[in-house]
Chain A
Amino acid sequence: MNVCDDPVALNDWYVVAYVDELGLGKSEQTQLLGEELELMRERDGRFRCLWHKRDGTAEPLEHIRQRYGFVWVSLGRPTRDILTIAEFDDGEPRRFIHRGRIGVPSSAQRVIENFFDLSHFSFVHTGTLGGYDAAEVPPYRVEYREDGRELWAVGCSFFQPKASAAAGLGTQVYYDYRIASPCIAIIYKDSLVRPGKKDLIGLFVQPCGEEHCTVHSFARVFDETNSDEHILHFYHEIFAQDRMILVHQRPRKLPVHPRQEVPAASDASSVAYRRWLDRSGLQFGLERNLT
């Protein structure tokens, strides 16, 4: 895969680490878009990143930022800033949970598509996000925002036996999904602790290669009763259940050929996501041939 042929992938921002994962004076090797990177943290806390190119040279990355507790880089020339997540600055007493990086042997887009899928709740997350006896997916709306640069699934709902670590009884829960870029998705989910407010769960997926990725993620939630460990274990249970599906999906890249789609109404957001990716000109991580 020649990264320079895919300017859409090249010119985007990607998370490569959570700030606290790298101690002062430490460095780590990582991969992004099939390229070898060396991420370093100086003694004064600042991050630098070297791109170890195939010709043997090492180019310092100009575009490197810290935002929301994570380290972001771009291998190209980003045309827009890192996304804005207003809930990080709104003064609400949400707790921040760093959920830990998770490796998945599939493309980043497969992970994102699974993240906003509702139809699997009753089967993959039985007992928490869904139940066998209530698998029907009510209609929701697909919207394009920010001049088509963001894809949203709005007004999603589902009956959830245990919607969050803080949840008590089963209840109908409302969700909005924000897909801010091909590898970034955020859930805005009804808080069961602060009615009328939303909890956030976000994925920042690092596409290491076309068929494997590292998922960086966080939660910003209202929860006054549970320990961090309790909340973390709840999220890890859910993510590992998804991972069990993701490791078996073939092809590992996300198919975007129109004839690969099967139109069930509940899959409207998946169909929209694949078409949105197809139109964007993105190549990396996508399977454009009919398999």
Chain B
Amino acid sequence: MGDVAEKGLVCPYHGWRFGGDAQCNFIPAHPGGTPPAAARVRPYPAVERNGYIWVARQDTSVEPPSLPAGVTPVRSMHMPVSGERLAGFWTRACLHATGRFSRVESSCPETALFQSYVEGSGSILHGKWQSAGLGVDYVGIVQPTHGGTCMLHLAAQEPLSAEARLGLNRALVALRHEISRSTACEPKWGMNHECV
């Protein structure tokens, strides 16, 4: 919810401003004063690698999982299931029109330190996506988010054409539709159309 300012991050509640050292450096209610040392937020280690921001839940000397140098982010998509369930869906889908994901599951121990927000452990899926002459080696980084759901960050292992990018994205969209259909609380199409 915060806003980025020249001298830090501004909280929209009381306007407190926090510097990159996680220390509050300005309190608008007391503009002439110095914020107390206790006015600080808890920082988390963060690094930028391969076009992604990696966050650790605690201080660590372990590096984020290594990805190929040419890794190209394609899509970050929220999935209505946990990372574990997502892995289960990954190759089950029969997606003729949009191609097939083949998968070699990889659960890197070091990613256990790179959990995001709540529960579960992250994992990395990788394999090859193929559709009608197009083939893309991909990497899928699973970020557990909230309430047993996750964000899937899909990347190609090397730069890819616009056509391949579009195709890969559409395959992921089709997979998400498949997951939504399979999960219990998804209504059948037409239930929410009051004018039908």
Which of A66-74, A88-96, A119-127 is found at the contact surface with chain B? A119-127
B27 touches A264 (CB 8 A): yes
Interface centre among A123, A264, A265 (most CB of B within 10 A): A264
Which of B9-17, B59-67, B181-189 is found at the contact surface with chain A? B9-17
B13 touches A120 (CB 8 A): yes
Name B138-164 residues within 8 Å CB distance of A. none
> What are the nearest 10 A-B pairs in CB distance?
A135-B28, A266-B29, A137-B29, A119-B14, A119-B29, A123-B15, A262-B39, A262-B38, A120-B13, A120-B14
Chain A CB within 8 A of B69 CB: no
Contacts of A135 in B (CB 8 A): 15, 28-29, 31
Interface centre among A117, A123, A124 (most CB of B within 10 A): A123
Contacts of A132 in B (CB 8 A): 15
By a beta-carbon cutoff of 8 Å, the part of chain A in contact with chain B is: 117-120, 122-124, 132, 135-137, 245, 248, 262-266
Chain A CB within 8 A of B193 CB: no
Residue of A whose beta carbon sits closest to that of B28: A135
| Chain B interface size, under 10 / 10 to 19 / 20 to 34 / 35 or more | 10 to 19
Contact mask for chain B residues 39-61; partner A; CB cutoff 8 A; 1 contact, 0 none: 10000000000000000000000
A124 touches B13 (CB 8 A): yes
Interface centre among B12, B15, B29, B31 (most CB of A within 10 A): B29
Given known A248-B1, A264-B35, A264-B39, contact A136–B30 (CB-CB < 8 A): yes
Contacts of A123 in B (CB 8 A): 12-15, 28
CB distance from B60 to the nearest CB of A (A): 21
Contacts of A262 in B (CB 8 A): 36, 38-39
**In the complex, what distance in Å separates the CA atom of A268 from the CA atom of B12?**
20
B12 touches A264 (CB 8 A): no
B28 touches A122 (CB 8 A): yes
Contact mask for chain B residues 1-37; partner A; CB cutoff 8 A; 1 contact, 0 none: 1000000000011110000000000011111000110
A137 touches B30 (CB 8 A): yes
Contacts of A245 in B (CB 8 A): 12-13
Residue of A whose beta carbon sits closest to that of B36: A263
By a beta-carbon cutoff of 8 Å, the part of chain B in contact with chain A is: 1, 12-15, 27-31, 35-36, 38-39
Interface centre among B12, B13, B35 (most CB of A within 10 A): B13
Can you list 8 A-B contacts (CB < 8 A)?
A: A120-B14, A136-B29, A245-B12, A248-B1, A263-B36, A264-B27, A264-B39, A265-B30
Interface centre among A117, A245, A262, A265 (most CB of B within 10 A): A262
CB distance from A205 to the nearest CB of B (A): 19
Contacts of B15 in A (CB 8 A): 119, 122-123, 132, 135
Residue of B whose beta carbon sits closest to that of A267: B29
Residue of B whose beta carbon sits closest to that of A118: B29
Contacts of A119 in B (CB 8 A): 14-15, 28-29
CB distance from A26 to the nearest CB of B (A): 26
Given known A123-B14, A245-B13, contact A136–B28 (CB-CB < 8 A): yes
Contacts of B27 in A (CB 8 A): 264, 266
Contacts of A264 in B (CB 8 A): 27, 29-30, 35-36, 39
**In the complex, what distance in Å separates the CA atom of A118 from the CA atom of B29?**
9
Residue of A whose beta carbon sits closest to that of B31: A136
CB distance from B18 to the nearest CB of A (A): 12
CB distance from B134 to the nearest CB of A (A): 42
Contacts of B35 in A (CB 8 A): 264
**In the complex, what distance in Å separates the CA atom of A264 from the CA atom of B33?**
10
B12 touches A124 (CB 8 A): yes
Contacts of B30 in A (CB 8 A): 136-137, 264-266
**In the complex, what distance in Å separates the CA atom of A136 from the CA atom of B31?**
7
CB distance from A106 to the nearest CB of B (A): 13
